[in-house]
Structure formats: structure tokens, C-alpha cells
Amino acid sequence: MRKIILFGLFLATMGFAENKNESNNSEVDMEESPIEGVTFKFIETNGIKMRLAEIGEGPLILLAHGWPESWYSWRHQLIGLSKAGFRVIAPDMRGYGQTDAPSEIDQYDIKHLTEDMIGILDALGEASAYIIGHDWGAPVATYSALFYPKRFTKLVIMSVPYSGRQDQNPIEGLKAVFQDNFFYILYHNEPNGVAEKEYDKSPRDLISKFYQSPNAPSKPPKITDSKRSAGGFLSRIGEPKGMPDWFTQKDLDYVVGQFEQSGFRGGVNYYRNIERNWKLTEDLKDHSIKVPTLFLAGTEDMVIRGASKEALQSSMKEAIPLLEKVILLPNIGHWVQQEAPEDTNKILLEFLK
């Protein structure tokens, strides 16, 4: 059966910025962490400067966020996991927040992204780490464990399952399926930066619409025509009638501020490398993950499209023979570690310890 791997944000509800610098300037380097006990540090690695949020002492846990996110998506895990005796690091991934955002699209391919993870370990003087990834961070974490099994002792994949390299070029597969209809991954792959130009005009509109619980009440979308020619992305999502209790106004303001600072081009460039990543990993199509692995998602996460625990286990078992658990949290959507932080932390600690 043909596999179409959907990297990144979910299907249904779901930076070019003219004044954004490739390297963030020193004026913003002094930002203080909004989370008590969490500190920032900067490292130089793999040709870029990265900002790391850090807390705790003990075995290292590396947290890789997705789109459109930042280190802040892990705020609950930074506190909970560090209290359990771990050193926890959550970077702004390449292109996000105060981490550098190279202008070249190919600087965001899976080779660079996984080398960033290794670069963090090297800069911190750590021989190995547990690695956890959500959304786009999930394939980054997965390929980090695949490329560097001696550096990552356990793997946690959130929201985006891994069933191995597909036979068909994924972008060509999506074009065949959606044709003239709108689909966000194809939109992100259009030339001239049309996606990030739309998003940079209103980061608050984007974040407030995306960071919602499943079935949250909203106004009707302005665009209901499925054709791409009818318009871009944000008008296809109805304006929410409020924010969820797990994502406060303070949270919204902080995340919006991060994208006002960095723009959206860096994150969108991850999608522009899907085809390139497929070509770069041709020699790995018969390789499998060789570290113990946990998959975690919400039952209402649109990335898994209603798949059962058994179906997910079956689809991943060949590519991840050491898949120990598949856990689906009832009535939880895409933002699992933020929507259900206590359950997420408990599951992570049980697996990691």
C-alpha cells in the first residue's frame, strides 16, 4: 500500500520577513526566560548559533519542537522532567526564535537538522541523550536516532509516526492526491515565499487559530472553496471563540512574540525539504531504528487520522523493531504535551526511567 507520510501540522485545521536578519542580533540576546528556573544559553554549532532553554541536572533529555512552535512548547516538560532528576534542554530549532535562520532552503534538510542535535550534545559535553520530538521535531528526533544510534539511547515520537522511507516521492504523491485543491504542505512548497508572507502579516491570527483543542467552537471560515485558487491558509480556518484553558493569553503573547521576532520562513523551509529529504535517505530504505522507542499522540490528533493503537503499531513495527509502546490519550488533539502535560510527563518518566 502506498505510504504518504505527512510531516508537520495536522490536516484539517490545519519566514519570509523582509526585516528579519539571518543571525539574530545582540539586542535580543538578553531576553529572560518567562519560566522560573529555566535559563537560556547560546551555543555555536553546525554553522549556526542556537538558543537553548535549560534546567536541571542528571541524564540529558533533548526536546525537539515542531511547527509553528518554539522551546516554549516544552515548558511543562522542562519543569516536570527536571524535578525527576534529568537535565532537560529545549532548543529553538533552526529557523525559530533566537536561533539563527539561514536564508538557503537546503540548510533545513534532514542532514542539517539532525547534525544540529548532535552539535548540541557535543557543545554540552554529553556523550548521549534521550531525544523526544513533536510534530516536525518527531522526524528530526527519529532520523537523529536512525543516523546516530550510539548518541541517542531512547526515542520518543509525538504525533508524527514513522513507518520507514516510502517508495514514492512524497511531494509527487501529494500533488496526485490533491491536484488543484488546497493542502498546506503543497502551499508551503510554492515558490516566492507565499506561505510565510501570509503568516508574517498576522502571527497572532495564525497562532490563535492553530493552538486550539479538538472541536473548539469557532466562527465559520471565510474561505470554504477547496480549490487552491480560492486563497491561502488562514482564511480557511474559522476564528476561534476563545482560547483553551491549556493555552492562556500569556502563552499566546509569548509565542506570538517569538514569531514576530523570527518570522515564519525558517519553519516553512522544513516543508520545502520533504522531497530533498526523501532523496537524501535513499540508502536508508532498508534500515530500522535501533533504540527503544515510544510513540505518543492524542486520539483526536489529525496527523494520525483516527488510527487505532493496533494500526499504528502494525505500521511502525518493521521500521522500529524496538517500539515498546504506542499510547493514545483520549480526547487530546495535536498539542499533546501542552494539552495534557501531567499525563505526558508521567508517560515520559515511566518510559525513560
Q: How far apart are CA 155 and CA 141, in angstroms?
A: 7
Q: What is the pLDDT of residues 43-63, one digit of tens each?
A: 999 999 999 999 999 999 999
Q: Which residue type sits at 83? A: K
Does the pLDDT at position 28 exceed 70? Answer: no
Cell of 93: 530549532
The continuous run of DSSP H or E covering 68 comes out as: none
Give 3-state DSSP helix, strand, coil % of the chain, rounded to 5.
Answer: 40, 15, 45
Rg (CA), the chain: 19
Q: How far apart are CA 116 and CA 123, in angstroms?
A: 10
Task: State the catalytic residues.
Answer: 135, 334
Percent of the chain residues topping a pLDDT of 90: 89
Average of pLDDT values for 68-72?
Answer: 98
Among the ranges given (15-29, 83-97, 236-250), the one the predictor scored with the smallest mean pLDDT: 15-29
Q: What is the pLDDT of residues 90-116, one digit of tens each?
A: 999 999 999 999 999 999 999 999 999
Burial pattern 287-310, b for ≥16 Cβ within 10 A else e, equals eebebbbbbbbbbbbbbbeebeee
Does the pLDDT at position 22 exceed 70? Answer: no
Domains of the chain, earliest start first: 26-352 (3.40.50.1820)
